[in-house]
Chain A
Amino acid sequence: MAHPKENRILLKHADEDYFSTDIDCYLKYDGYEALKKALTMKPEDIRLQVKASGLRGRGGAGFPCGVKWHDLVDRKSGKPIYLICNADESEPGTFKDRQLIHKDPHQLIEGTIISSFANDVNLAFIYIREEMPLGAKILQKAVDEAHEKGFLGKNIQGSGYDLEIVVHRGAGAYICGEETGLIESLEGKRAYPRIKPPFFPAAKGVYQCPTVVNNVETLCNVVHIINMGGEEFAKIGRPNNTGTRIWCVSGMVQNPGYYEIEPMTMKELLYDVCGGPLPGRKLKAVVPGGGSMKILDTEETYKDRDGNEFSFDDIIVDYDGIMAAGSMSGSSGMMVMDDSIDILEALGNLLAFYAHESCGQCTPCREGSLWTKKITARMCTGGARDEDLDLLMDLAKNIGGRTVCPMGYSTTWPIESYVGKFREEMEAKVKSNSCGMTNFDERLIEK
């Protein structure tokens, strides 16, 4: 159930007993009213409302949604425009889209229809990852129900507007969360990301046509922007960080879970909402926005651009607040580590993930991620060499920014920040522990 400090807009009904994924239930709680309202508006006006709302993308980069829609989508080429809902949620630590899809699918369908209408789209895709088979079924059922009620198909609600939504399933590749990789996959090819420029989806996306790609949570927000109006929406949260965000807190706190909140401090979120560390433990570090983001040390003093110092507890949990602390809010997946967690093993765990998920297109990422995994693994299992930490940093320097897509940084940001902030601990571990991991029972990487 919702915590009192939450402000549930997207998840308003999600966990309530009265609510189900049926369209009749959704309609009972004013479902599809936003769509009916949107259909009376001009597509351009919807785009301007979304721009006025200040809504930023919830997938990771935080790009302003209205700017993408209004200013970047190529409307001059005369080619059909497509919309893709990116439901390939796979960033370690992130599980917000799962809730939205499984618990309130019609909100997403409604958001997708409105967004498609706003962008003159007649065919939209929802690309959902393979590991959510139930989610794909729920979405397909929701699409079918929306069809029956005349919210999809030809001449929606008598407006003359046509739209079809195709639910497309992935097959276990993290790289499909990268929008151009997703597009390649949707075209029936290996999901090798495309080089930008020229392949910005808004200009040259799927089938070389302009394509709007948005995250699940972003599209769900559109429903509420239409309901309350862009300017009203912009009053939630704080400037440049408007609306609520669903934060996924996992790892070593008392009450891990998903919390839809307006910006608050790290202390409020981790202690008041999530109940603080487990008994007898102390929080040590937090990965703020999904596995690829730089780690935050709870003991560290941070400095904002104006030179003001602030502690970890005072970091404001939103796009700009976390950016000021030198990391990113990413996909809002917050992984919390306490003093029982070995930081080197945690790094090894994540590097194993990125080595597994590198698509193999670019040499620095394909070879580099594998080597970083091997090096951290040997450091954890007693085979460390003196130069290993420097070698890791050197590899990191040669991966980030040298690849087609930003996944290179997913390998390098953890290395640079974990080694940068916890070097002493890592050196001590390697020295004191030449014959194996500290504790095989609680190991974080494979033996």
Chain B
Amino acid sequence: MNLSPATIDRIENTIPKYPDKRSAVMMLLHYIQDEQGYISNQAIEWVAEKLDMQPINVLSVVTFFPYYRQEDQKIGKVHVRVCRTLSCAMRGAYKVGDELSKKFGCKVGHSTEDGNVTLEYAECLAACGTGPVVLVDEDLYENIEANKLSGLIDEIERRVSAPEEATA
């Protein structure tokens, strides 16, 4: 496993916080996915050894939680999540999804061919009062209107063309 010293540091600092090592599994998977974009089989074995778990038990956590991705579900450089649950839907979330899908030429739930943008619907993002909302990587954009998407699209494109380090 090739992890950066910073990630190794985060991992070593996290494990002793928990009374039982196994509890750290979710945080470790977060750190690894932050760095590598997905959870590889090698990562699963590495985490298992680190936490005295069986690899199958790490895999079962990876497959349970939708946020963890394996190799075939890798997230693109920019991760765009449009909330589709009721409050946002009433305010036009599906139209936003359609427009973004048209703009970037990929179906919702997929990534663009160049792997730059992953466009998905998300379930309730807990910002219903300002719906529709869109989560771009770690930043939430609120009150998005389908006919006024240019600002959001510019932001996504800015992130696509930004150097790799800046988005990490």
Q: Which of chain A's residues 172-200 have a Cβ closer than 8 Å to chain B?
A: 172-174, 185-191
* B86 and A346 contact, CB distance less than 8 A: yes
B129 touches A187 (CB 8 A): no
B9 within 8 A of A: no
Whether A133 lies near B87 (C-beta < 8 A) is no
With a cutoff of 8 Å between Cβ atoms, the chain B residues found around residue A333 in the complex are 128
- Contact between B126 and A98, CB atoms less than 8 A apart: yes
**Is the CB of B55 closer than 8 A to any CB of chain A?**
no
Question: Which of chain A's residues have a CB closer than 8 A to the CB of B90?
Answer: 251-252, 335, 337, 341, 346, 444
User: Does the CB pair A92–B61 fall under 8 Å?
Assistant: no
Answer yes or no: A401 CB below 8 A from chain B CBs. no
Question: What chain A residues lie within 8 Å of B68 (beta carbons)?
Answer: 171
Contact B66 A171 (CB under 8 A): yes
Which residue in chain B gives the minimum CB-CB distance to A259? Answer: B129
Which residues of B are found within 8 Å of A250, using beta-carbon distances? 87, 128-129, 131
A248 contact set on B, CB distance < 8 A = 128-129
- Asked if A353 and B20 sit within 8 Å, CB to CB, the answer is no
The contact of B87 among A89, A131, A164, A251, by CB within 8 Å, is A251
Chain B positions 15 through 51: 1 when the CB is less than 8 Å from some CB of chain A, otherwise 0 = 0011110111111011000000000000000000001
B135 to A, closest residue via Cβ: A131
CA distance A130 to B57 in the complex (A): 21
Contacts of A335 in B (CB 8 A): 86-87, 90, 128
Of the candidates A93, A98, A172, the one whose C-beta lies within 8 Å of that of B86 is A93
Contact (Cβ within 8 A) A89 B86: no
Chain A residues with CB below 8 A from B128, complex form: 92-95, 248, 250-251, 256, 333, 335
Whether a CB of chain A sits under 8 angstroms from the CB of B158 is: no
B64 neighbours in A (Cβ, 8 Å) = 173, 190-191, 359
Decide: B123 and A356 in contact? CB cutoff 8 A: yes
Interface string of A109-147 (1 = CB under 8 A from B): 000000000000001000001111110000000000000
Q: How far is the CB of A167 from chain B (nearest CB, A)?
A: 9
Q: Is the CB of B126 within 8 A of A134?
A: no
Give Cα A187–Cα B128 distance, bound, in whole angstroms.
31
A353 and B66 form a contact (CB under 8 A) = no
Given contacts A250-B129, A349-B86, contact A170 B26 (CB under 8 A): yes
Assess the A251–B86 pair: CB atoms within 8 A.
yes
Partner of A189, one of B61, B94, B126: B61
Q: Given known contacts A250-B128, A250-B131, is B66 in contact with A173 (CB within 8 Å)? A: yes
Residues of B within 8 A of A445 (CB): 89
B126 x A129 contact (CB < 8 A) = yes
A258 at the B interface (CB under 8 A): yes
Residue A427 interfacial (CB < 8 Å): no
B92 engages A207 (CB within 8 Å)? no
Least Cβ distance of A157 to chain B in Å?
Answer: 22
Q: Does B85 contact A (CB under 8 A)?
A: yes
Could you say which residues of chain A place their CB within 8 Å of the CB of B53? 188
Any B CB within 8 A of the CB of A267: no
Q: Does A228 contact B (CB under 8 A)?
A: no
When the two chains form the complex, which single residue of A129, A133, A446 contacts B84, counting CB atoms closer than 8 Å?
A446
A277 at the interface (CB under 8 A from B): no
Q: A188-B61, A335-B87 are in contact. Are A249 and B129 (CB under 8 A)?
A: yes
Determine whether the beta carbon of A257 is less than 8 Å from that of B129: yes
Q: Which of A414-447 contact B (CB under 8 A)?
A: 441-446
Question: Measured between C-beta atoms, what is the minimum distance from A133 to chain B in Å?
Answer: 4
- Whether A166 touches B22, Cβ cut-off 8 Å, given contacts A132-B126, A349-B85, A441-B95, is no
Q: A172–B87 contact, CB under 8 A?
A: no
Within 8 A of A (CB), among B104-150: 121-131, 135, 138-140
- Binary CB contact string for chain B from 55 to 99 against chain A (1 if under 8 A, 0 otherwise): 001001100111110000000000001001111011110110000
Tell me if B85 and A291 are in contact (CB < 8 A): yes
A8 within 8 A of B: no
Q: Which residues of A contact B (CB under 8 A)?
A: 80, 89-95, 97-98, 123, 129-134, 164, 166, 168-174, 185-191, 207, 248-252, 256-258, 287, 291, 333, 335, 337, 341, 346, 349-350, 352-353, 356-357, 359, 441-446
Give the top 7 A-B pairs by smallest Cβ distance, nearest first: A171-B65, A250-B128, A188-B22, A172-B67, A250-B87, A171-B67, A188-B25
Query: Mind listing 19 A-B residue pairs with CB under 8 Å?
Result: A92-B85, A92-B123, A94-B126, A130-B65, A131-B135, A171-B30, A171-B66, A173-B66, A188-B22, A251-B91, A335-B128, A337-B90, A341-B90, A346-B86, A349-B84, A353-B85, A353-B86, A357-B123, A359-B64
Chain B interfacial positions (CB closer than 8 Å to A): 17-20, 22-27, 29-30, 51, 53, 57, 60-61, 64-68, 81, 84-87, 89-92, 94-95, 121-131, 135, 138-140
Q: Beyond the given A95-B127, A95-B129, A258-B129, could you list 20 further A-B residue pairs with CB under 8 A, ordered by the A residue number?
A: A80-B19, A92-B128, A94-B124, A97-B126, A129-B126, A132-B126, A134-B138, A168-B23, A169-B30, A170-B67, A173-B64, A188-B25, A189-B61, A190-B60, A191-B65, A251-B128, A291-B85, A291-B86, A352-B84, A442-B92
